[in-house]
Amino acid sequence: MSKTKRFWWLKISEDFFNAKEIKFLRKVAGGDTFALIYQRMMILSLNTGGKLYFENIGNTFAEEIAVELDEEVKNVEMTLNYLKGKGLIDFGESDSTLEFKQVPSLIGSETNWARYKNQAREKELKELENVQSMSNYKEQEQEQDKELDSEEDKEQKSDVSVMFENYLKIFSEYTKGVKNQPRAKAKQVFLQLAPKQRQLALIGAKNYIVWYDKTDQGPYYSKNAFAFLDDMLFMEYQEVPEVSKVGDKKVSKAPEWSNPTYENKTTEEDLAKLEEIRQEALNKLGPQENE
């Protein structure tokens, strides 16, 4: 299943169309079409660092790009020839690689979790624009602070806390005696979720444990409560996925030493050295807390 997703975009500066190369490109026959082809080719190269690769599907590189962009081959060929002449692109060995020199400095990206937080922030700003003045906004904040002290709000806080405890319990009971759950970090992310997403997090956690337990991997390598929220994995487990199988056997990703028939050949001397290394690492980290 997919993990954290990353979104890419092209950051065009305000003087992009003022560059002489782009101005001249727009003045030649089909200029605006050529400029658009240039931008769309750069967008195609975003997730490969500004490069396109000839896949030998078409007869020429230009033909492959034309199919991808739904443009005429001759327009793509003329655009490529112009860009090459102006030093804006380079063809690699055997013309199998096309590199856009401007792209590395124009790439932007973000994770799906960062995008969610940015969208939430933009929504807040739009709501604030409807407030007539900053003074009214401050009064509204004061009223909200008073409401936070009300009995109703205390009950809401209590409900969220109970919901989080139920969420954490799902992971804690499954990994009991194996590894501790990062309670404080998980709660911080949980409180940032919208009310509906908290409900989805509970559903996703239950389905994830059911699915993971069926894979016969045990709790050793399962996601912890914090990572499951921080990567927004709960959105992918709103239903219990099917367990992949090879023949009649369930697929297990557990390491070799977790196999019941594995023979442990570690000597007492090796164990003593490992314990010494572990203690040195703990001393460097300083006192540790569970939360």
Between CA 240 and CA 203 the distance in angstroms is: 10
In this predicted model, what pLDDT tens digit does every residue of 225-261 receive, in sequence order?
898 888 888 888 999 888 764 444 455 444 444 444 5
Between CA 198 and CA 164 the distance in angstroms is: 8
Q: What pLDDT, on the 0 to 100 scale, is given for residue 203?
A: 94
What string of H, E and C letters represents the secondary structure of the chain? Answer: CCCCCEEEEECCCCCHHHCHHHHHHHHCCCHHHHHHHHHHHHHHCHHHCCEEECCCCCCCHHHHHHHHHCCCHHHHHHHHHHHHHCCCEEECHHHCEEEECCHHHCEEEEEHHHHHHHHHHHHHHHHHHCCCCHHHHHHHHHHHHHHHCCHHHHHHHHHHHHHHHHHHHHHHHHCCCCCCCCHHHHHHHHHHCCHHHHHHHHHHHHHHHHHHHHCCCCHHHCCCHHHHHHCCHHHHHCCCCCCCEECCEECCCCCHHHCCCCCCCCCHHHHHHHHHHHHHHHHHHCCCCCC
Amino acid at 219: P
Query: Which residues contact residue 255 at a Cβ distance below 8 angstroms, ignoring those fewer than 6 apart?
Result: none
Q: What pLDDT, on the 0 to 100 scale, is given for residue 206?
A: 92
Q: What pLDDT, on the 0 to 100 scale, is given for residue 74?
A: 92
Between CA 271 and CA 277 the distance in angstroms is: 10
Query: Which residues contact residue 3 at a Cβ distance below 8 angstroms, ignoring those fewer than 6 apart?
Result: 231, 233
Query: Which residues contact residue 30 at a Cβ distance below 8 angstroms, ignoring those fewer than 6 apart?
Result: 75, 78
In this predicted model, what pLDDT tens digit does every residue of 157-211 receive, in sequence order?
678 888 899 998 988 888 887 778 888 988 988 888 888 888 999 999 999 988 8
Residue 4, pLDDT above cutoff 60: no
Q: What pLDDT, on the 0 to 100 scale, is given for residue 159?
A: 84
**What rounded mean pLDDT belongs to the chain?**
75
Average pLDDT over residues 215-228: 81
Question: Please, what is the angle between helix 61-69 and helix 31-44, to 10°?
Answer: 90
Between CA 210 and CA 26 the distance in angstroms is: 59
Cβ atoms of residues 223 and 211 within 8 Å: no
pTM above 0.95, yes or no: no
Between CA 35 and CA 86 the distance in angstroms is: 14
% residues pLDDT > 70 (the chain): 64
